[in-house]
Structure 1
Amino acid sequence: MIGSDPKADLRVYLQDARDVLLWKLDGLSEYDIRRPMTPTGTNLLGLVKHAAGAEAMYFGETFGRPFDAPRPWITGEGEPNTDLWATADETREQIVGLYRRVWAHSDVTIESLDLAAVGRVAWGSRSEVTLHRALVHMIAETDRHAGHADIVRELIDGVVGQRTGSGNVAPGDTAWWGRHRSRVERAAGEAGRGA
Protein backbone atom coordinates (compact mmCIF):
# COMPACT_ATOMS: atom_id res chain seq x y z
CA MET A 1 0.00 0.00 0.00
CA ILE A 2 1.35 3.42 -0.94
CA GLY A 3 2.18 5.53 2.07
CA SER A 4 2.00 2.69 4.55
CA ASP A 5 4.03 2.74 7.76
CA PRO A 6 6.69 -0.01 7.61
CA LYS A 7 6.78 -0.50 11.39
CA ALA A 8 2.98 -0.74 11.56
CA ASP A 9 3.02 -3.26 8.70
CA LEU A 10 5.57 -5.41 10.52
CA ARG A 11 3.57 -5.24 13.76
CA VAL A 12 0.42 -6.40 11.93
CA TYR A 13 2.23 -9.47 10.60
CA LEU A 14 3.79 -10.23 13.98
CA GLN A 15 0.46 -9.96 15.78
CA ASP A 16 -1.27 -12.11 13.18
CA ALA A 17 1.30 -14.86 13.70
CA ARG A 18 0.96 -14.56 17.50
CA ASP A 19 -2.83 -14.86 17.25
CA VAL A 20 -2.65 -17.91 14.99
CA LEU A 21 -0.29 -19.67 17.39
CA LEU A 22 -2.65 -19.14 20.33
CA TRP A 23 -5.76 -20.02 18.31
CA LYS A 24 -4.35 -23.51 17.79
CA LEU A 25 -4.93 -24.20 21.52
CA ASP A 26 -8.64 -23.32 21.42
CA GLY A 27 -11.04 -26.08 22.30
CA LEU A 28 -8.39 -28.68 23.13
CA SER A 29 -7.89 -30.59 26.37
CA GLU A 30 -4.84 -30.18 28.60
CA TYR A 31 -3.56 -33.48 27.29
CA ASP A 32 -3.96 -32.54 23.63
CA ILE A 33 -2.18 -29.18 23.92
CA ARG A 34 0.80 -30.92 25.56
CA ARG A 35 0.77 -34.14 23.56
CA PRO A 36 4.00 -34.82 21.62
CA MET A 37 2.91 -35.34 18.02
CA THR A 38 6.30 -35.87 16.36
CA PRO A 39 9.31 -38.04 17.18
CA THR A 40 11.06 -34.90 18.52
CA GLY A 41 8.17 -34.09 20.88
CA THR A 42 6.60 -31.13 19.06
CA ASN A 43 3.48 -30.03 20.92
CA LEU A 44 1.20 -26.99 20.86
CA LEU A 45 1.78 -25.54 24.32
CA GLY A 46 5.54 -26.01 23.95
CA LEU A 47 5.48 -23.98 20.73
CA VAL A 48 3.75 -21.14 22.57
CA LYS A 49 6.25 -21.37 25.43
CA HIS A 50 9.15 -21.29 22.98
CA ALA A 51 7.72 -18.29 21.11
CA ALA A 52 7.30 -16.41 24.38
CA GLY A 53 10.94 -16.99 25.30
CA ALA A 54 12.29 -16.08 21.87
CA GLU A 55 10.27 -12.88 21.72
CA ALA A 56 11.27 -11.92 25.28
CA MET A 57 14.91 -12.21 24.29
CA TYR A 58 14.67 -10.43 20.93
CA PHE A 59 12.61 -7.47 22.12
CA GLY A 60 13.81 -7.48 25.73
CA GLU A 61 17.44 -8.40 26.41
CA THR A 62 18.55 -7.40 22.92
CA PHE A 63 17.38 -3.81 23.36
CA GLY A 64 18.31 -3.39 27.03
CA ARG A 65 14.78 -4.02 28.31
CA PRO A 66 14.97 -7.44 30.02
CA PHE A 67 11.63 -9.16 30.51
CA ASP A 68 10.99 -10.25 34.09
CA ALA A 69 10.38 -14.01 33.89
CA PRO A 70 11.96 -17.27 35.02
CA ARG A 71 15.46 -17.22 33.58
CA PRO A 72 16.49 -20.79 32.80
CA TRP A 73 14.31 -21.54 29.81
CA ILE A 74 14.37 -18.03 28.34
CA THR A 75 18.16 -17.74 28.38
CA GLY A 76 18.94 -21.34 27.50
CA GLU A 77 20.38 -22.01 30.96
CA GLY A 78 18.03 -24.97 31.51
CA GLU A 79 18.19 -28.47 30.12
CA PRO A 80 17.95 -28.83 26.32
CA ASN A 81 14.44 -28.22 24.95
CA THR A 82 13.08 -26.93 28.27
CA ASP A 83 11.41 -24.16 26.29
CA LEU A 84 9.61 -26.57 23.95
CA TRP A 85 7.32 -28.38 26.38
CA ALA A 86 5.31 -27.68 29.49
CA THR A 87 5.73 -29.57 32.73
CA ALA A 88 2.62 -30.85 34.50
CA ASP A 89 2.97 -27.92 36.93
CA GLU A 90 2.98 -25.28 34.19
CA THR A 91 -0.60 -24.45 33.28
CA ARG A 92 -2.04 -23.34 29.97
CA GLU A 93 -3.10 -20.12 31.69
CA GLN A 94 0.43 -19.45 32.96
CA ILE A 95 2.08 -19.98 29.58
CA VAL A 96 -0.56 -18.13 27.55
CA GLY A 97 -0.53 -15.33 30.14
CA LEU A 98 3.25 -15.17 29.94
CA TYR A 99 3.09 -14.97 26.15
CA ARG A 100 0.56 -12.13 26.31
CA ARG A 101 2.73 -10.24 28.84
CA VAL A 102 5.71 -10.73 26.53
CA TRP A 103 3.64 -9.24 23.67
CA ALA A 104 2.88 -6.16 25.74
CA HIS A 105 6.55 -5.79 26.70
CA SER A 106 7.67 -6.32 23.12
CA ASP A 107 5.13 -3.86 21.77
CA VAL A 108 6.52 -1.13 24.05
CA THR A 109 10.03 -1.85 22.72
CA ILE A 110 8.80 -1.77 19.14
CA GLU A 111 6.78 1.41 19.63
CA SER A 112 9.52 3.29 21.46
CA LEU A 113 12.40 2.57 19.07
CA ASP A 114 13.13 3.47 15.49
CA LEU A 115 13.48 0.56 13.05
CA ALA A 116 17.18 1.47 12.70
CA ALA A 117 17.79 1.19 16.47
CA VAL A 118 20.60 -1.26 17.21
CA GLY A 119 20.45 -3.93 19.88
CA ARG A 120 22.89 -6.64 20.86
CA VAL A 121 22.22 -10.34 21.03
CA ALA A 122 24.27 -12.62 23.22
CA TRP A 123 24.13 -15.57 20.83
CA GLY A 124 24.71 -16.44 17.18
CA SER A 125 27.16 -15.03 14.67
CA ARG A 126 25.74 -11.49 14.62
CA SER A 127 26.10 -9.57 17.84
CA GLU A 128 24.32 -6.43 16.59
CA VAL A 129 20.82 -6.39 15.19
CA THR A 130 18.48 -3.57 14.22
CA LEU A 131 14.90 -3.47 15.44
CA HIS A 132 13.88 -3.98 11.82
CA ARG A 133 15.87 -7.20 11.60
CA ALA A 134 14.57 -8.38 14.99
CA LEU A 135 10.99 -7.80 13.82
CA VAL A 136 11.56 -9.67 10.57
CA HIS A 137 13.23 -12.50 12.49
CA MET A 138 10.38 -12.80 15.01
CA ILE A 139 7.73 -12.71 12.28
CA ALA A 140 9.53 -15.54 10.48
CA GLU A 141 10.09 -17.45 13.73
CA THR A 142 6.50 -17.10 14.92
CA ASP A 143 5.04 -17.93 11.50
CA ARG A 144 7.30 -20.99 11.29
CA HIS A 145 6.00 -22.25 14.62
CA ALA A 146 2.41 -21.35 13.68
CA GLY A 147 2.92 -23.65 10.69
CA HIS A 148 4.17 -26.39 12.99
CA ALA A 149 1.12 -25.78 15.18
CA ASP A 150 -1.19 -26.04 12.18
CA ILE A 151 0.16 -29.48 11.33
CA VAL A 152 0.12 -30.64 14.97
CA ARG A 153 -3.48 -29.43 15.38
CA GLU A 154 -4.53 -31.22 12.20
CA LEU A 155 -2.99 -34.43 13.53
CA ILE A 156 -4.88 -34.03 16.81
CA ASP A 157 -8.40 -33.26 15.59
CA GLY A 158 -8.36 -32.28 11.92
CA VAL A 159 -8.72 -28.51 12.48
CA VAL A 160 -6.74 -26.49 9.92
CA GLY A 161 -6.35 -22.89 8.83
CA GLN A 162 -5.30 -19.57 10.28
CA ARG A 163 -8.45 -18.87 12.27
CA THR A 164 -12.04 -19.97 12.72
CA GLY A 165 -13.98 -19.65 9.48
CA SER A 166 -10.82 -18.85 7.52
CA GLY A 167 -11.11 -19.17 3.77
CA ASN A 168 -7.46 -20.02 3.33
CA VAL A 169 -8.11 -23.78 3.06
CA ALA A 170 -9.83 -25.46 0.13
CA PRO A 171 -13.48 -26.20 0.91
CA GLY A 172 -14.37 -29.83 1.35
CA ASP A 173 -15.98 -32.28 3.72
CA THR A 174 -14.34 -35.36 5.20
CA ALA A 175 -15.15 -37.46 2.12
CA TRP A 176 -13.70 -34.83 -0.24
CA TRP A 177 -10.49 -34.59 1.80
CA GLY A 178 -10.24 -38.39 1.88
CA ARG A 179 -10.44 -38.53 -1.93
CA HIS A 180 -7.92 -35.70 -2.21
CA ARG A 181 -5.48 -37.45 0.12
CA SER A 182 -5.86 -40.70 -1.83
CA ARG A 183 -5.12 -38.85 -5.07
CA VAL A 184 -1.99 -37.28 -3.56
CA GLU A 185 -0.91 -40.72 -2.25
CA ARG A 186 -1.41 -42.31 -5.71
CA ALA A 187 0.70 -39.59 -7.34
CA ALA A 188 3.44 -40.08 -4.75
CA GLY A 189 3.39 -43.84 -5.30
CA GLU A 190 3.56 -43.48 -9.08
CA ALA A 191 6.45 -41.01 -8.82
CA GLY A 192 8.23 -43.27 -6.32
CA ARG A 193 7.98 -46.30 -8.61
CA GLY A 194 9.35 -44.27 -11.52
CA ALA A 195 12.41 -43.05 -9.62
Structure 2
Amino acid sequence: MTTPFAVQVGDERTQLTAFLEQYRELLPGVLDGLTEEQARRRLVPSATTLLGLVKHVAFVETVWFGLAVTGATRAELGLPETVDESFALTDDDTVASVRRHYAQVCEHSRAAVAALGLDDTVTGRGYPITVRWLLLQVMRELAHHSGHADILREQVLAAG
Protein backbone atom coordinates (compact mmCIF):
# COMPACT_ATOMS: atom_id res chain seq x y z
CA MET A 1 0.00 0.00 0.00
CA THR A 2 1.16 3.50 -0.76
CA THR A 3 1.88 5.47 2.37
CA PRO A 4 1.93 9.26 2.34
CA PHE A 5 4.33 9.19 5.27
CA ALA A 6 7.06 7.98 2.95
CA VAL A 7 7.03 11.32 1.12
CA GLN A 8 6.95 13.84 3.95
CA VAL A 9 9.82 15.72 2.37
CA GLY A 10 8.72 15.52 -1.26
CA ASP A 11 7.41 18.44 -3.23
CA GLU A 12 3.76 19.41 -2.94
CA ARG A 13 2.62 17.43 -6.01
CA THR A 14 4.36 14.31 -4.77
CA GLN A 15 2.77 14.62 -1.33
CA LEU A 16 -0.75 15.32 -2.66
CA THR A 17 -0.46 12.42 -5.07
CA ALA A 18 0.74 10.05 -2.33
CA PHE A 19 -2.30 10.82 -0.17
CA LEU A 20 -4.66 10.51 -3.13
CA GLU A 21 -3.11 7.18 -4.14
CA GLN A 22 -3.50 5.85 -0.61
CA TYR A 23 -7.25 6.50 -0.73
CA ARG A 24 -7.42 4.98 -4.21
CA GLU A 25 -6.03 1.78 -2.71
CA LEU A 26 -8.06 1.87 0.51
CA LEU A 27 -11.50 2.09 -1.07
CA PRO A 28 -11.44 -0.99 -3.27
CA GLY A 29 -9.55 -2.74 -0.46
CA VAL A 30 -12.74 -2.78 1.63
CA LEU A 31 -13.97 -5.50 -0.71
CA ASP A 32 -11.05 -7.82 0.13
CA GLY A 33 -12.24 -11.22 1.31
CA LEU A 34 -15.95 -10.46 0.96
CA THR A 35 -18.44 -12.61 -0.88
CA GLU A 36 -20.52 -11.05 -3.64
CA GLU A 37 -23.49 -11.07 -1.29
CA GLN A 38 -21.55 -9.31 1.48
CA ALA A 39 -20.26 -6.67 -0.95
CA ARG A 40 -23.87 -5.97 -2.06
CA ARG A 41 -25.41 -6.13 1.41
CA ARG A 42 -27.48 -3.09 2.28
CA LEU A 43 -27.26 -2.15 5.96
CA VAL A 44 -28.41 1.48 5.88
CA PRO A 45 -31.65 3.10 4.65
CA SER A 46 -29.92 4.53 1.56
CA ALA A 47 -28.82 2.38 -1.37
CA THR A 48 -25.23 2.51 -0.11
CA THR A 49 -23.35 -0.79 -0.17
CA LEU A 50 -19.64 -1.52 -0.15
CA LEU A 51 -19.70 -2.47 -3.81
CA GLY A 52 -21.84 0.58 -4.58
CA LEU A 53 -19.34 2.85 -2.80
CA VAL A 54 -16.49 1.64 -5.00
CA LYS A 55 -18.69 2.07 -8.07
CA HIS A 56 -19.58 5.58 -6.87
CA VAL A 57 -15.95 6.66 -6.42
CA ALA A 58 -15.29 5.64 -10.03
CA PHE A 59 -18.10 8.07 -10.90
CA VAL A 60 -16.52 10.76 -8.69
CA GLU A 61 -13.12 10.39 -10.36
CA THR A 62 -14.70 10.49 -13.80
CA VAL A 63 -16.72 13.61 -12.99
CA TRP A 64 -13.71 15.49 -11.70
CA PHE A 65 -10.88 14.21 -13.90
CA GLY A 66 -12.99 13.51 -16.98
CA LEU A 67 -15.67 16.17 -17.06
CA ALA A 68 -13.76 18.95 -15.24
CA VAL A 69 -10.50 18.50 -17.14
CA THR A 70 -11.78 17.63 -20.60
CA GLY A 71 -15.18 19.31 -20.65
CA ALA A 72 -16.80 16.11 -21.94
CA THR A 73 -20.45 15.66 -21.02
CA ARG A 74 -21.74 13.00 -18.65
CA ALA A 75 -23.29 11.22 -21.63
CA GLU A 76 -19.97 11.23 -23.49
CA LEU A 77 -18.28 9.79 -20.41
CA GLY A 78 -21.01 7.18 -19.87
CA LEU A 79 -21.99 8.65 -16.51
CA PRO A 80 -25.41 8.60 -14.88
CA GLU A 81 -27.14 11.95 -14.56
CA THR A 82 -27.48 11.86 -10.78
CA VAL A 83 -25.18 11.03 -7.91
CA ASP A 84 -27.73 8.57 -6.49
CA GLU A 85 -27.64 6.57 -9.72
CA SER A 86 -23.87 6.19 -9.37
CA PHE A 87 -24.39 3.84 -6.39
CA ALA A 88 -26.85 1.60 -8.25
CA LEU A 89 -25.64 -1.91 -8.97
CA THR A 90 -26.57 -3.99 -11.98
CA ASP A 91 -26.57 -7.78 -12.23
CA ASP A 92 -23.29 -7.48 -14.16
CA ASP A 93 -21.52 -5.65 -11.33
CA THR A 94 -19.23 -7.98 -9.41
CA VAL A 95 -16.43 -7.35 -6.96
CA ALA A 96 -13.92 -8.09 -9.72
CA SER A 97 -15.62 -6.00 -12.42
CA VAL A 98 -16.17 -2.94 -10.21
CA ARG A 99 -12.59 -3.09 -8.92
CA ARG A 100 -11.27 -3.44 -12.47
CA HIS A 101 -13.39 -0.50 -13.64
CA TYR A 102 -12.20 1.67 -10.76
CA ALA A 103 -8.55 0.83 -11.53
CA GLN A 104 -9.10 1.84 -15.17
CA VAL A 105 -10.79 5.09 -14.11
CA CYS A 106 -7.85 5.90 -11.83
CA GLU A 107 -5.45 5.40 -14.74
CA HIS A 108 -7.51 7.83 -16.83
CA SER A 109 -7.54 10.30 -13.91
CA ARG A 110 -3.76 10.17 -13.55
CA ALA A 111 -3.30 10.67 -17.29
CA ALA A 112 -5.75 13.59 -17.39
CA VAL A 113 -3.57 15.75 -15.14
CA ALA A 114 -0.12 14.25 -15.70
CA ALA A 115 1.07 17.10 -17.93
CA LEU A 116 -0.61 19.83 -15.88
CA GLY A 117 0.92 21.81 -13.03
CA LEU A 118 -0.82 22.36 -9.70
CA ASP A 119 -1.54 25.99 -10.59
CA ASP A 120 -2.91 25.18 -14.06
CA THR A 121 -6.61 25.88 -14.42
CA VAL A 122 -9.25 23.61 -15.92
CA THR A 123 -12.74 24.80 -16.84
CA GLY A 124 -14.67 21.72 -17.95
CA ARG A 125 -17.31 22.14 -15.24
CA GLY A 126 -18.09 25.66 -16.42
CA TYR A 127 -15.94 27.46 -13.89
CA PRO A 128 -12.18 27.65 -13.35
CA ILE A 129 -10.49 25.36 -10.83
CA THR A 130 -6.82 24.69 -10.30
CA VAL A 131 -5.38 21.21 -10.54
CA ARG A 132 -4.36 21.59 -6.88
CA TRP A 133 -8.00 22.20 -5.91
CA LEU A 134 -9.09 19.28 -8.08
CA LEU A 135 -6.67 16.88 -6.37
CA LEU A 136 -7.77 18.09 -2.95
CA GLN A 137 -11.47 17.82 -3.85
CA VAL A 138 -11.15 14.23 -5.04
CA MET A 139 -9.04 13.37 -2.00
CA ARG A 140 -11.74 14.88 0.25
CA GLU A 141 -14.42 12.80 -1.45
CA LEU A 142 -12.39 9.60 -1.24
CA ALA A 143 -11.59 10.21 2.45
CA HIS A 144 -15.26 10.84 3.16
CA HIS A 145 -16.30 7.60 1.49
CA SER A 146 -13.45 5.65 3.10
CA GLY A 147 -15.03 6.43 6.45
CA HIS A 148 -18.38 5.15 5.25
CA ALA A 149 -16.73 2.03 3.87
CA ASP A 150 -14.91 1.27 7.13
CA ILE A 151 -18.15 1.36 9.09
CA LEU A 152 -20.10 -0.67 6.54
CA ARG A 153 -17.36 -3.30 6.34
CA GLU A 154 -17.35 -3.60 10.13
CA GLN A 155 -21.14 -4.13 10.06
CA VAL A 156 -20.93 -6.68 7.24
CA LEU A 157 -18.24 -8.70 9.00
CA ALA A 158 -20.07 -8.58 12.33
CA ALA A 159 -23.24 -9.91 10.67
CA GLY A 160 -21.28 -12.79 9.17
TM range (shorter): 0.7 to 0.9
Runs of 4+ in 1 over 4 A off after TM superposition: 65-70
Contact 1:47 1:84 (C-alpha < 8 Å) held by counterparts: yes
CA RMSD of aligned residues (A): 2.3
Distance 1:139 1:71 in 2: 22
Equivalent residue number for residue 13 of structure 1: 19
Please show how residues 136-151 of structure 1 align to structure 2 within 5 Å.
136-151=136-151
Determine whether 1:30 maps to 2:40: no
For residue 154 of structure 1, report the CA deviation from its aligned partner.
0.3
For structure 2, the 5+ residue unaligned runs are: 1-6
Q: Report the number of matched residues.
A: 151
Distance 2:57 2:110 in 1: 15
The amino acid of 1:37's aligned partner reads L
Summarize the Cα distance change of 1:24–1:2 in structure 2 as closer, same or farther, 3 Å threshold. Answer: closer
Contact 1:121 1:129 (C-alpha < 8 Å) held by counterparts: no
Distance 2:75 2:110 in 1: 15
Identity of aligned residues (%): 30
Higher relative contact order at CA 8 Å, sep ≥6: structure 1 or structure 2? Answer: 2
* Structure 1 residues 37-80: Cα deviation after superposition (integer angstroms, max 9, x where no partner): 1111221111111100111121122111759986242xx26xx6
Summarize the Cα distance change of 1:128–1:65 in structure 2 as closer, same or farther, 3 Å threshold. Answer: closer
Equivalent residue number for residue 78 of structure 2: 71
TM-score when scaled to structure 2? 0.84
Equivalent residue number for residue 104 of structure 2: 101
The amino acid of 1:64's aligned partner reads T
Summarize the Cα distance change of 1:111–1:38 in structure 2 as closer, same or farther, 3 Å threshold. Answer: same
Give the counterpart of 1:115 among 108, 115, 118: 118
For structure 1, the 5+ residue unaligned runs are: 159-195
* Structure 1 residues 131-189: Cα deviation after superposition (integer angstroms, max 9, x where no partner): 1001000011001101100000000114xxxxxxxxxxxxxxxxxxxxxxxxxxxxxxx
The structure with the largest alpha-carbon Rg is 1
Summarize the Cα distance change of 1:108–1:68 in structure 2 as closer, same or farther, 3 Å threshold. Answer: farther
Equivalent residue number for residue 91 of structure 2: 88
